[in-house]
Structure 1
Amino acid sequence: MNSVDRVLKDALQLSSEQQEMLIKILQNRHRENRRAEIATDAQQTLADFYTGKFRHQSAQDVISALRGVS
């Protein structure tokens, strides 16, 4: 039995209220972790921008490039 199966088996032993609480805790922690990942990515992107890895462009230039318009 792998660890996920063991966790699920244990979770099913909890009362309905405890299961709901566990679900909410896991969802909140997942959101917090994802926010931290996004913040780290944003900081790296800004650092790359400020060190010159990206060139300055207008919003219209970016939109045109994404649409494939010259």
Structure 2
Amino acid sequence: MITFESTLDAVSQLSIDQQEMLIDILRKRNAEVRRREILEECHEGLTEYRAGVLKSQSAEEAIAELRSYLDTEDCVKC
């Protein structure tokens, strides 16, 4: 099994140019993964909207609902 530490050790043995290429590749891959996640979330939201699980709201309604949520004890991250 490859560990994080062994990976860092292997990367440190690369030249600076190779390390920079690796960083660039990882950033692009991470961006692509995030794009896929966002797309999946959009598809899920659209499916829920079409099924009537979600309703459309005005900006004012959405802000009021968000404020109400933030004022509750359910908002643990606040």
TM-score normalized by the length of structure 1: 0.84
- Name the % identity: 40
Q: Distance in 2 between matches of 1:66 and 1:34?
A: 25
Shift of 1:50: 0.5
How much is the aligned-residue C-alpha RMSD, in angstroms? Answer: 1.6
Q: Which runs of 5+ in 2 are unaligned?
A: 69-78
Aligned residues: 68
Give 5+ residue unaligned stretches, structure 1: none
1:1-70 alignment, distance < 5 Å: 3-68=3-68
SS at match of 2:55: coil
**Letter of the structure 1 residue corresponding to residue 22 of structure 2:** L
Structure number with higher helix proportion: 1
How far apart are residue 33 of structure 1 and its match? 0.4
Per the normalisation by structure 2, the TM-score is 0.76
